[in-house]
Structure 1
Amino acid sequence: MQTISKNITTLLLLSVVFSFGGCKKFLSVTPSTQSVNPVTIKDFQEILNSDSLSRTQFFPLDLMTDDVALTDNQFNTGDNFYRRIYTWDALIWNPAQIDFMYNYSYAKILQMNVILSRIDAAKKDALNTPQTKNLIVSQALTNRAWYYLQLVNTYGAAYDVSTSKTDPGVPLVLTPDAYALPARASVEQVYGSIISDLKKAAANTDMPSKGIDIIHPGKAAVYGLLARTYLYKGDYESASLFADSALTQESRLLDLTQNPYMPNQLQDLNTNPEVLLGRISSDEGFFKTYSNTFVIGGSLLDSLGGFSTADKRFSNRFSTSRFSPGVYKQNQLNAQTMVFDNSVAVPEIMLIKAECLARKGDFSAAGDLLDKLRSSRIINYSPSGRTYTADNILSYVIGERRRELCFHGGLRLFDLKRFNKGTPFRQSILRTSYSGTNYAELLPGSVLYLLPLSAYVLAANPNILQNPR
């Protein structure tokens, strides 16, 4: 009787998960049938063909950083979720509010767990070949790893070899168990699972360099994620090796000086050769709350060169009109939705490699990578105005990471957290009115860098401990 009850509960849970966010046709692949009981290779392929895997909602993490500013009018609109997360309030979530980042991520993880737990028992048919099964497994592992890397860096502390064995991470759910109420695994355990998944995926000889499109990962994406993961661990030797492996598979750059690239939808990523694994993040609530988009943070604007900069990373993203300078551009398909490219892509991998080179003192090779990237971003860029040395190269690399990876689904926040671990890049973030009044400050190493779990999550699983505030 208990087994029957458990099976019924599992099917009900899956019916919710496979309808979560909907499924749409992406390019030439067949979308999910939304089967609540996938049992065939085709079923598993269709789950992976759903573009919902590549649609994310991590803009709130960028709102916690110094890349974003609220105008005085926006700040004075009144109490709301966006203002609370912008000022790192003790209470961010309303009592009944669902944390869409947490819930959506675990819904996608559950889908991948279903694939991984059932594929060995898939029905025998023409599609059920070792090569096809291996590819499905590798893609499911890669997607699961991506979501866990986002989660552990959102709710957990930055990786620290001296504390990560005990630092709370996130629940580590690797099977589709409807009754499981796991406590938070340690940061070390979550990273171990991520690396294990990615290395299993990379070991698949049937996995191509790049997938059939940007929502299907290939080896370049797997190696790129391994490079990102090891960078966050502070294992720069491994990060460098996997960055090399990724760039061997794909190293093309899109010349922004000749292309006003600004994706409005997921399909737009498919035109960009840099993209290794497509991720598009959208946010509708901000515009509905403020009737406008946000303003670029002052220090990021300065880093990009000001309003008259030749850096296309500014003008492609932000308005340069005299009436709304520095305001994030509205989406051309839906003016009330902000869209952000959160993809794993070649520029990030180049910057990972450059950081690893800089940290071991190879300033010449690191500088060459920076100049190559900047030549594709800045009109008439000339490296002659820069002199790279062993003493300054890391600062140059960190600055370039900020310019290239702003509004990238939390990567700036994750960088700030790791820089707070006793490095010269520790900093405070001030929230200041246009008149100069300071109304919030985030100090280096503050517990407020950790996003709190929502009351909804805590009520659903009493074994989860809240982050300190």
Structure 2
Amino acid sequence: MLLAISILFGCQKDFLDIKSDKKLVVPTNLKDLQSLLDNTERMNILMPYLTEISADDYYVRADRYQSLSSLTMKSAYVWAKDFVYQNNSSSDWDWRYEQVFLANLALEGLDKIERNSNNAKDWNNIKGSALFYRSWAFYQLSQLFCKPYDSTTANTDLGIPLKRESDINEKVFRATVKETYEQMLNDLSEAIDLLPTVSNPKTRPSKAAAHAFLARLHLLMGNYANAAEHAAASITLADKLMNFNDLDATANYPVPQFNDEVIFHSSMLGALILRENRLIVDSVLFDSYQADDLRKKIFFYYDGENRYKGSYDGTRELFTGLASDEVYLILAECYARLGMTGNAIELMTTLLENRYAKGTDLSLGTLNQEQLLYNIIAERRKELVFRGLRWTDLRRLNKETAFKVTLKRELNGVQYELLPNENSYVLPIPPNIIAINGIEQNER
């Protein structure tokens, strides 16, 4: 059994009850299957928080750290070699495999429903959505529990269990990193032809979202031409950018939920250590915003310390979905890496004109290819702050000498460091999963 907690937690009881013979009541019509995927608690929110806790865009005071009751959060914050999971389990693991379960259940339900001219639109949307959601869950897991993609070792590096059936008693094993990414790419490639161009509500997947997600995955794999192709396709379908000159910087949460830039909505499980009154924005990051950069007041506020308030969730919860600003940055980075500097400058100018005060001289045209790439990477950190992406970027960029970073924290005079490419960039599999399945543990 893959999960150590009830796989049915949070599912809708009208068609997911347990019969007296212990067999699952499987949804049998398209309406029920769509309802299964509209379980936003599992499909869109409560996304993993350990990546953000481990990243370097913030720090907490020692007393705040000591007051945490969660041993998991404490371990993630200091990149502990002897990582401790509260109760030997992890919601970041369990809930994502619940998402995989629900997606697989929907796909299996579709196999029993004939697609015809009357139901084709709904049938296609359900299948495309289920494939997208399964890939989304695999992605979240891969950024925590397996090494970053490296073309020279991906065929032997340990990935995650790739559940493609809803049978929770199925014997599982760890695929390779290569197989893990191939599964995500295959699911998304199939989903694109099935999904609507854009979605309403934005908690549902779309073609624009699938292209954006594929662009992100190819960027992580270093496939810059493919990433550019999918990023361009996503922008063609969903290219809107908010003009930050029009936002109210004095609002508690200036960025609206489901705003024009959001392509696919997803948010992070609330973690006490990441609450806005606890986290303190890294001073180097905060100082990197220029005075006329509107993000400095849209994203942050000061109450004696610099705090974060700029979530695209429109609340204190952290946005982890897909948005057009990220896609612009992906395309610009790929263009810069491919030597298409003019195209990259055009994209960055468009994005930054919507982020800086009107009339600001951006002067990007004077940058050479190397300088432009540095600029884009720097802007990526400033734009996508607290979206669950910094940890992923550290993992991929640490493979390049020019972008390697050593992370440092201090608590009560004790120094903690995380060196580039260290094993601690991969979290251990929760002990209860190892005990149940016997799969191989990650090295720390």
Q: TM-score, normalised by structure 2?
A: 0.88
Counterpart of 1:155, as a letter, is F
Q: Are 1:273 and 2:260 an aligned pair?
A: yes
Determine the structure 2 residue equivalent to 1:225.
Answer: 213
Residue 298 of structure 1: aligned partner: 283
Instruction: Determine the C-alpha separation between the residues in 1 that align with 2:187 and 2:353.
Output: 35
Q: Check conservation: 2:26, 2:109, Cα contact below 8 A.
A: no
2:377 to 391, 395, 398: 398
CA contact (8 A) 2:60 2:273 kept: no
Matched with 2:39 is 50
Unaligned segments of structure 2, at least 5 residues = 18-24
CA RMSD of aligned residues (A): 3.1
Q: How many Å separate the matches in 2 of 1:353 and 1:370?
A: 9
2-structure distance, mates of 1:327, 1:341: 16
Instruction: Give, in angstroms, the shift of residue 329 of structure 1.
Output: 4.2
Query: Which residue number corresponds to residue 359 of structure 1?
Result: 337
1:180 aligned residue: 170
2:46 and 2:270 in contact (8 A); partners too: no
Deviates more, 1:37-46 or 1:440-449: 37-46
In the TM superposition, what is the alpha-carbon distance from 1:427 to its structure 2 partner?
Answer: 1.3
Indicate how the Cα distance of structure 1 residues 303 and 248 shifts in structure 2: closer, same or farther if over 3 A, else same.
Answer: same
* Alpha-carbon distance between aligned partners in 2 of 1:45 and 1:71, rounded to the nearest angstrom: 45
Partner of 1:315: 297
Moved more, 170-179 or 73-82: 73-82
- The one-letter code sitting in structure 1 at the alignment partner of 2:33 is F
Measured after TM superposition, the shift of residue 107 of structure 1 is 0.2
For 1:28-47, list aligned pairs within 5 A: 36-47=25-36
Question: Aligned to 1:168, what secondary structure does the other structure show?
Answer: coil
Gaps of 5+ in 1: 1-8, 24-30
Matched residue, 2:229: 241
Aligned counterpart, 1:452: 428
Instruction: Determine whether 1:467 maps to 2:438.
Output: no
Question: Is the CA contact 1:364–1:388 (under 8 Å) kept in the aligned structure 2?
Answer: no
By how many angstroms is 1:263 displaced? 9.5
Alignment match of 2:186 (pick from 196, 203, 227): 196
Superimposed CA distance per residue, residues 376-405 of structure 1 (whole angstroms, 9 cap, x where no aligned partner): 222236244443211211101111111111
Q: Is the 8 A contact 1:59 1:407 kept in 2?
A: no
Find the aligned partners of 1:166 and 1:263 in 2 and give their Cα distance: 48
**1:87 partner amino acid:** V
Whole-Å separation in 2 of the counterparts to 1:416 and 1:345? 20
CA distance in 2, matches of 1:159, 1:443: 18
**In 2, distance between residues paired with 1:18 and 1:459?**
21
Contact 1:275 1:344 in 2 (8 A): yes
Q: Matched residue of 1:213: which SS? A: coil
Residue 314 of structure 1: CA displacement?
3.4
Q: Is the 8 A contact 2:276 2:309 kept in 1?
A: no
Distance 1:375 1:189 in 2: 40
- Name which of 56, 61, 81 aligns with 2:51: 61
1:325 aligns with 2:286: no
CA distance in 2 between partners of 1:425 and 1:269 (Å): 33
Instruction: Give matches, 1:144-159, under 5 Å.
Output: 144-159=134-149
After TM superposition, where is structure 1 displaced by more than 6 Å over at least 4 residues in a row? Answer: 261-265
The verdict on how the C-alpha distance between 1:314 and 1:245 changes in structure 2, with shifts beyond 3 A counting, is: same
Distance 1:32 1:244 in 2: 42
Partners of 1:70 and 1:362 in 2: how far apart? 41
CA distance in 2, matches of 1:136, 1:127: 15
**1:26 corresponding residue in structure 2:** none
**Of 105, 113, 117, which aligns to 1:114?**
105
Q: Is the CA contact (8 Å cut-off) linking 1:41 and 1:123 kept in structure 2?
A: no
- What is the CA distance between 1:258 and its match in structure 2? 1.3
**Does residue 1:424 correspond to 2:411, yes or no?**
no
SS state at 2:409 partner: strand
CA contact (8 A) 1:214 1:269 kept: no
Q: Count how many residue pairs are aligned between Structure 1 and Structure 2.
A: 431
Shift of the 250–123 alpha-carbon distance from structure 1 to 2, 3 Å rule, reads: closer
Worse-superposed segment, 188-197 or 312-321: 312-321
How far did 1:101 drift?
Answer: 0.9
Match of 1:19 among 5, 9, 12: 9
Identical positions, percent:
27
Give me the whole-angstrom Cα distance separating, in 2, the residues matched to 1:268 and 1:343. 14
Cα distance, 1:259 vs structure 2: 1.5
TM-score (norm 1): 0.84
Q: Is the 8 A contact 2:29 2:113 kept in 1?
A: yes
Counterpart residue number, 2:92: 101
